Amino acid sequence: MEERATSRPGLLVIISGPSGVGKTTITHGVERSVPGAVFSVSCTTRAKTDADREGVDYFFISDARFDAMVREDRFLEHAEVFGRKYGTPREWVMDRLAEGKVVILEIDVEGARQVKEKVPHAFGVFVLPPSEDVLLERLRHRKREDEAQIQKRFAEAKREIARAKELSASHGVYDAFVTNDDLARATREAVSLVEARRAGATARP
Ligand code: 5GP
């Protein structure tokens, strides 16, 4: 299996979407279901929560360390989200692509824009809520923040959706939009899209 994978070209997959839309579940569904798929663990300066696993969900690093990595050009992309820095380690991603893996990046719209500039064949998927009302309900349901925080995330989510659509029209940043009306269905759709692109990528000379 491993040898077959090494003879295939790698595929870089970007999955984005506003908070509360279910993109982490969809991302992990794609990672589990697509053969040869691996999740790229980002570096972040945000505080680690009890739910986070170091080195599995993120590498939690200091501001100084993050800035040093930027100076050393060790990020494929990096951006600030909610006032915290996030970046994709370049070398790990490039090594996995060279091995023929499907590398999944769960990153924001700004990061996606940067990646598409550097790797134009990257496949961008943006996860949408079925409606704004549903998104607001989901953000409240998570019980992770107070109402003021929730409203901030909601406003940011609406901006991010508008920006994703705008950048796709102008720069083709996202190749597909998946509406999460039902988590299992949306995950299946994302998996099919990635597999179809993978089949297309493999057929490319
Ligand atoms: P959270 O802190 O809630 O896990 O993630 C906050 C946001 O940061 C999400 O939209 C997530 O997709 C984005 N994000 C996570 N890692 C990266 C990264 O490496 N680069 C960029 N640009 N965004 C990221």
| Axis crossing angle, helix 132-141 with helix 147-171, rounded to the nearest 10 | 140
**pLDDT recorded at residue 202:** 61
Residue 19: per-residue pLDDT? 85
Q: What is the pLDDT along the chain (205 residues), one digit of tens a residue?
A: 444 444 678 999 999 999 889 999 999 999 999 999 999 999 999 999 999 999 999 999 999 999 999 999 999 999 999 899 999 999 999 999 999 999 999 999 999 999 999 999 999 999 999 999 999 999 998 877 899 999 998 999 999 999 999 999 999 999 999 999 999 999 999 999 999 999 986 655 4
Please give the Cα distance from 134 to 137 (Å, whole number).
5
What does the pLDDT read at residue 144? 75
Angstrom distance (rounded) from CA 80 to CA 100: 30
Contact (CB, 8 A) for 158 and 132: yes
The model's pTM is 0.93
Distance 172 CA to ligand 1 centre (A): 20
Q: Whose CA is nearest to atom 2 of ligand 1?
A: 46
- Residue in 163, 180, 144, 176 with CA at minimum distance from that of residue 22: 180
Mutate to test the pocket of ligand 1, among 81, 82, 88 (most ligand atoms within 8 A of CB): 81
Closest atom of ligand 1 relative to the 108 alpha carbon: 23
pLDDT value of position 8: 78
Q: Can you read off the two tokens belonging to residue 64?
A: 């100084």
- If you measure from the C-alpha of residue 198 to the centroid of ligand 1, how many angstroms do you get, rounded to a whole number? 24
Distance 94 CA to ligand 1 centre (A): 19
